[in-house]
Amino acid sequence: MIDALGSPGSLLLVGGTSDIAVATARRYLAERPLRVVVAARDTPRRAAVADELRTAGADVQVVDFDAEDPGSAERMVAAAAGGGDIDVAVIAFGQLGDQDQLASDPAAAAALGQVNYVAPVVAGTVLANRMRSQGHGAIVALSSVAGERARRSNYVYGSTKAGVDAFYSGLADSLVGTGVSVLVVRPGFVRSKMTEGLPEAPLSTTPEAVAEAIVTGVRKGRHTVWVPGAMRWVMSGLRHTPRAVFRRLPF
């Protein structure tokens, strides 16, 4: 259960090896020990993350999850819930993709759509069902400012995030009164392994800052958070920038 002051007893990390997922677990563990389920593909990185979180005081369970396998989410949630109620679930997986390849290779675009949009929708549906029946819980979905208005430099990625954002925002409204809440997180450019080697965009942020926003957002029962907070006003401006200007912007 998430207690009266917003502290959960269990945390499910879907895409548990992502930097934001790990940072979120560490941020919670800095306050209290808790049960953490790391759902990811069976890789050395997953084992390393599990060890790291155990050292930080978590009671860690490892569960298989593969965003490219449509049946994976159902098995993953069932396995995670086998150890008790899921208080907070973070949907933290995703790929950036290579825009040049995505622009020319339809199979690559479809694959990114599967991982970044279809899989989060499937996972969100399964999780919402599960949490509705347990009568409580919070789902945290990692959206992106890239979904707010797609740019020529990464519109395939941006479009998947726009879809994820719309799905979870609607899901949030459908869950009112069920005891389940949804937090949509819209970070700007996050310096992480996903963006390694890319030039930094303005107002870039860190996985730790995103984790802080997640913990605070869940605690306060927020529906949407931007990281950094100023991104909200920047994107509000960009959303209303005339197209002729927007497409010439240098990012």
Partner 1 sequence: MSESTLLNGWGRTAPTPAVLTPVHDDAEVRAVLAAAGGRGVVARGLARSYGDAAQNAGGHVLDMTAANQVLSFDPETGLVDVEAGISLDELMNRFVPQGFFVPVTPGTRLVTVGGAIGADIHGKNHHVAGSFAQHVRWLDLLTADGQVRRVSPEQDPDLFWATAGGMGLTGVILRAQVQMKRIESSRCLVDTDRTPDLDSLMTLLAETDHLYEYSVAWIDTLAKGKRMGRSVVTRGRFATLDELPEKRKADPLKYHGSIKLSVPDVFPPGLLNLATVAAFNELWYRKSPKRKRDQLQSIPTFFHPLDAVGGWNRIYGPRGFVQYQVTVPFGQEEAMREVLDRLSSFGTASFLAVLKRFGPGNPGMLSYPSPGWTLALDIPVMKGLAGLLDSLDEVVIAADGRTYLAKDSRVRPETFEKMYPRLEEFRAVRKQVDPDGVFTSDLARRLAL
Give me the active site residues, please: 157
Q: Looking up tokens 């797609």, which residue turns up?
A: 150
By CB under 8 A, name the one of 5, 107, 244, 245 that touches partner 1. Answer: 5
Q: Note whether 189 and 2 are within 8 A (CB).
A: no
- Which window, 5-13, 109-117, 144-152, 165-173, contacts partner 1 (CB under 8 A)? 5-13
Tell which residue, 15, 33, 141, 167, has the closest CA to residue 80: 15
Q: Does 32 bind partner 1 (CB under 8 A)?
A: yes
DSSP notation for 111-168: HHHIIIIIHHHHHHHHHHHHHHHHT-EEEEEE--GGGTS--TTSHHHHHHHHHHHHHH
By CB under 8 A, name the one of 4, 107, 244, 245 that touches partner 1. Answer: 4
Q: Does 31 bind partner 1 (CB under 8 A)?
A: yes
C-alpha torsion sign, points 111, 112, 113, 117: positive
Q: Does 135 bind partner 1 (CB under 8 A)?
A: yes
Q: Between residue 68 and residue 87, which ones bind partner 1 under the rule CB under 8 A?
A: 84-85
C-alpha torsion sign, points 154, 158, 159, 164: positive
Q: Note whether 21 and 15 are within 8 A (CB).
A: yes
Q: Does 9 bind partner 1 (CB under 8 A)?
A: yes
By CB under 8 A, name the one of 114, 134, 192, 224 that touches partner 1. Answer: 134
Q: Does 136 bind partner 1 (CB under 8 A)?
A: yes
CB of 133: closest distance to partner 1 in angstroms?
A: 6
Cβ-based nearer residue to partner 1, 10 or 205: 10
Residues with Cβ within 8 Å of 74's Cβ and at least 6 positions away in sequence, in order, are 126
Q: Does 173 bind partner 1 (CB under 8 A)?
A: no
Positions that interact with partner 1 (CB under 8 A): 1-7, 9, 31-33, 84-85, 132-136, 177-179, 219
